[in-house]
Chains A and B, each alone.
Chain A
Amino acid sequence: MQQNIIHLVDISKDYNGTEALKNINLYIRKNEFVTLLGPSGCGKTTTLRIIGGFEEPTSGDLLFNGVKINDLPPYKRRVNTVFQKYALFPHLNVFENVAFGLKIKKIDKKSIAKKVRTILSMVNLAGYEQREIGSLSGGQQQRVAIARALVNEPEVLLLDEPLGALDLKLRQEMQIELKNMQQRLGITFVYVTHDQEEALSMSDTVVVMKEGTIQQIGTPIDIYNEPKNAFVADFIGESNIIDGVMLRDYLVEFAGLQFNCVDHGFAEKEPVDVVVRPEDIQVVAEEESALKGEVKTVTFKGVHYEMLVDSTTFRWKIHSTVMAPVGAKVGLKILPDAIHIMKKVATTK
Chain B
Amino acid sequence: MKKNWLSYPYLVWVLLFIFLPLLLVLFYSVTTRTEDGIRFTFEHFQRFMEPIYLRVLLRSVKLALISTVICLLLGYPMAMILAGNGFKRKQIMVFLFVVPMWMNFLLRTYAWMTLLERKGLLNTFLSWLGLAPLNLLYTEEAVVLGMVYNFLPFMVLPIYSVLSKIDKSLIEAAEDLGADGVTVFRKVIFPLSLPGVLSGITMVFMPAVTTFVISRLLGGGQFTLIGNLIEQQFLLVGDWNFGSAISMVMMLVILLSIGVMSKYEKENEGSGLF
Contact = CB atoms under 8 A, between A and B. Distances in A.
Interface stretch (B77-85, B175-183, B234-242): B175-183
Given A93-B270, A132-B272, A133-B272, A87 B178 contact: no
Interface residues of A, number: 27
Interface string A45-81: 0000000111000000000000000000111000111
Contact of A73 (B175, B187, B268, B273): B175
A87 B272 contact: no
B11 interface: no
A252 B173 CA distance: 53
B271 A83 contact: no
B169 interface: yes
Contacts of A133: 272
Contact of A75 (B179, B188, B271, B273): B179
Interface stretch (A22-30, A99-107, A172-180): A99-107
Given A89-B188, A93-B270, A104-B183, A75 B178 contact: yes
A128 B84 CA distance: 35
Given A132-B270, A134-B272, A90 B176 contact: no
A88 B176 CA distance: 12
A52 B176 contact: yes
Contacts of B188: 89, 91
B273 A74 contact: no
Contact of B172 (A74, A104, A134, A148): A74
Interface residues of B, number: 22
A74 B170 contact: no
A104 B178 contact: yes
Contacts of A80: 176-177
A75 B176 CA distance: 5
Contacts of A81: 172-173, 176
A89 B270 contact: no
A343 interface: no
Interface of A: 52-54, 73-75, 79-81, 83, 85, 87-91, 93, 100-101, 104-105, 132-134, 148-149, 152
